[in-house]
Amino acid sequence: MSLHPNEVLLAPVVSEKSYKLIEDSKYSFKVHKDAHKTQIRQAVEQLFDVKVVKVNIIKVQAKPKRRGLFKGTRPGWKKAIVQLREGDTIEFFEGAQV
pLDDT digits (tens, 9 = 90+) for 46-69: 999 999 999 999 999 999 999 999
Asked, for residue 33, whether it belongs to a domain, the answer is yes
Q: What is the pLDDT of residues 16-48, one digit of tens each?
A: 999 899 989 999 999 999 999 999 999 999 999
Asked, for residue 96, whether it belongs to a domain, the answer is no
> How would you write the chain as a 3-class SS string?
CCCCHHHHEEEECCCHHHHHHHHHCEEEEEECCCCCHHHHHHHHHHHHCCCEEEEEEEEECCEEEEECCEEEEECCEEEEEEEECCCCCCHHHHCCCC
Asked, for residue 30, whether it belongs to a domain, the answer is yes
Asked, for residue 92, whether it belongs to a domain, the answer is no
Asked, for residue 76, whether it belongs to a domain, the answer is yes
| Domain range enclosing 63 | 5-87
Residue 4: the pLDDT is 87
Residue 98 has pLDDT above 60, yes or no: no
Residue 93: the pLDDT is 66
Residue 96: the pLDDT is 54
Q: Give the total number of structural domains in the chain.
A: 1
CATH of the domain at 49: 3.30.70.330
Asked, for residue 94, whether it belongs to a domain, the answer is no
- What does pTM read for this prediction? 0.85
